[in-house]
Structure 1
Amino acid sequence: MPMKLAVPDLISNSYFPVEAAVKLGFFKDEGLDVELELIFPVDKAYAALRDGVVDFVGGSAHSALAAFPEWKGVKLLCAQGQGMYWFLVMRSDLVTVPGDVNVVKGRKIGAAPWVEMGLRQLLGMSDIDIERDNVQIAPVPGANAGNVNFGVTAAKALEEGKIDGFWANGMGAETAVRGGVGTVVVDVRRGGGPSDAFNFTMASLATTDQLISRSPEVAAAAVRAVVRTHKALKNDITLASKVGGLMFPPNEAALIETLIARDVPYYDASISKSFIEGMNQFSRNIGILKGNPTYEDIVAEQFSDLWQR
């Protein structure tokens, strides 16, 4: 029976490493029969992991707390990529100074549940008060209709004037920019926004303590598959187009190689202690974590020797 790996956004660069690991056969090469399953939003993906409906989640690391309070019962196996990977994109006609987050004042911003937490904290650190400055952060119209690409749905809503901006993935950002309707205001990975925001979250691969205890060889194989995928994409970026051709509609398939070429410098499976410290602080600040779990409480460090192989 195939194992299931849930991702909250399918036609996107956000969780491309685990998607490519399936489509390029690296999970299979490691002895795992893995199927991708779209479960949106990300808190529902982690709930499915908790309930035994799926075996892994490839999603935002901090969002595990939606289903596993205080990190009880779940572990991060490895990173899909370093750093918070979402973009703040605003209507092009509103942006006069690139990088100036004041453009959000009095505006409606589309963002997915749990993803929006990163935006709220980033704005707060940039002296933007959500209530005082009348910033509306809400789900993107149409994004809950079983759509496989949150970012492209957000870009369409921006073009149609349903929102003034969005906080979403690179695919959505690129679509909006190329369409002339959006301008990137914040790209945290590449130096935009407060420096602390880089460690708010990351795209990770997670599973349960139960699976690790029962089948440590399965967890190790999953880590090896992601590491092999990182190496393959770094060595041959055209593999991104191959995977895109198998999974994506033509427009998004045409973009994915460019996006992955931009992302590969962040393809490192390791999870540092400084990242965990930053994510814990972020999680406490936004009220989804009360305590101070240790690195070992959050990360399956018994597989750390596999991260650089």
Structure 2
Amino acid sequence: MGSRLDKKSTKKKRKWVKVLIISFIILFLAVGAYAFTVYNSLKGAVETMHKPLEREKSEKREEDVSLKQGTPFSVLLLGVDQRKNDRGRSDSIIVLSVNPNNNSVKMVSIPRDTRTEIVGKGVQDKINHAYAFGGVEMSIATVENFLDIPIDYYVQINMEGFKEIVDSVGGVTVQNDLDFTYEGVHFTKGQLTLNGEKALKYTRMRKEDPRGDFGRQLRQRQIIEGVIKKGASLNSLTNFGDIFSALGNNVRTNLTFNEMVTIQSKYKSASNSMEQTQINGGGTKIDGVYYYMVPAEEKQRITTMLKEQLEIK
């Protein structure tokens, strides 16, 4: 019974983790210059978050990324289910590409069960196993090989940090269009202010929504927008220490503080246009194991789109 409950809980986490990892990177794009002037209050959190990669740059880039010159860049967002005495797996994998020249951000979600070569392991396996085998480094190498694009930065999020981050901005306000009850909480129609725990439940519900996944994704976007709105509202937001403490406790990235400042300055307008893309494919079983198979033409479509966004050949 315990095992079944654990699997159910893990499945629920996957439904909302995208809200957390997207919120993190957008928060840096949207909070405004003031947040980055209080370096002393953020120093400890930034130092805790920062974890550089062993490599200097991607082998798929001919020239280094220059954030000061506005080079389009990519970020691998990993939502990790960390367990005691276990590295865990990356239950959510999103490639985010930012282009300040066309003022846009494009996000591609890679299904966790996607079958591909695990670079450094020499096997065909589920793409999320790359993290279990070799952590962030192997995950980056595998995603680069799968999509044939460079990964310039990474952001790793501990999924348990979702509630803490929402609470750190003082909760979020959403406009709910469906009256429903989920896990003991009644969500009425109209404007709602949600704390971290309620926001988590708000994004989990699917079965009672006639729109199914579409309705759930709508609520997830509402939470993202709510975090952005609070982060950008400098008149009402005074607890930057709490926000960055929450991020410091739950985030690891190779972005430095100075790079975050530059992104805020040079790339902020890109957050105004965000496009989410799913990778189309189908499920199958090989030797009794379920995999998500991506056709070659679909993979090429995604690769072409991302290369255009990153302005690389």
Q: Which has the higher strand share?
A: 2
Q: TM-score, normalised by structure 1?
A: 0.29
Q: TM-score, normalised by structure 2?
A: 0.29
